[in-house]
Amino acid sequence: MNLVLFIIVLIVSFIIVRIGAIAFQLTGLEWSLAKFQALSCFTATGFTTKESELITATPQRRRIASILIILGHAGFVTMIATFANSLRPPVVKLPFLSDFLSFNLMPLINLAIIVVAIYIIYKIFTNSRFARKLTNVLRKRMVKRDIIKSVSFEELTIATGGYGVSKVTVSLGSVVLDKTLLDAQLRKYDINILAIVRNEETIPNPSADMRIIADDELVCFGKLENIRKQLC
User: What is d(CA 209, CA 179) in angstroms, rounded to the nearest whole number?
Assistant: 9
The number of beta carbons lying within 10 Å of the beta carbon of residue 90 is 7
Contacts of 159 (CB under 8 A, 6+ apart): 165
What is the torsional sign of CA 173, 53, 165, 208? Answer: positive
Q: Is the pLDDT of residue 96 over 60?
A: no
Cα 200 to chain centroid distance, Å, stands at: 25
Contact 5, 78 (CB under 8 A): yes
Give the residue among 166, 153, 140 at the shortest CA–CA distance from 19: 140
Q: What percent of the chain has pLDDT over 90?
A: 18
Give the residue among 93, 121, 98, 112 at the shortest CA–CA distance from 7: 121
Q: Write down how long the chain is.
A: 232
pTM (two decimals): 0.61
- What tens digit of pLDDT does each residue of 97-110 get? 454 444 567 778 88
Write phi, then psi, for 107 (nearest 5 degrees): -60, -40
DSSP 8-state symbol, 148: S
User: What is d(CA 7, CA 201) in angstroms, rounded to the nearest whole number?
Assistant: 46
Instruction: Please give the torsion angle defined by the CA atoms of residues 220, 226, 227 and 229, in that order, rounded to the nearest 10 degrees.
Output: -160
pLDDT band at 49 (very low <50, low <70, confident <90, very high): low
Mean local confidence (pLDDT), 113-134:
89
Q: What is the pLDDT at residue 155?
A: 62
Bridge partners for 203 per DSSP: 196
Q: What is the pLDDT at residue 150?
A: 61
Range in 37-51, 81-95, 102-116 with the lowest mean pLDDT? 81-95
**More confident: 106 or 18:** 18
Write phi, then psi, for 198 (nearest 5 degrees): -130, 120
What are the structural domain ranges in the chain?
Answer: 2-144, 153-231
pLDDT band at 181 (very low <50, low <70, confident <90, very high): very high
Q: Is the pLDDT of residue 128 over 90?
A: no
Contact 16, 68 (CB under 8 A): yes
Q: What is the pLDDT at residue 154?
A: 61
At the topology level, CATH places domain 153-231 in Alpha-Beta Plaits (3.30.70)
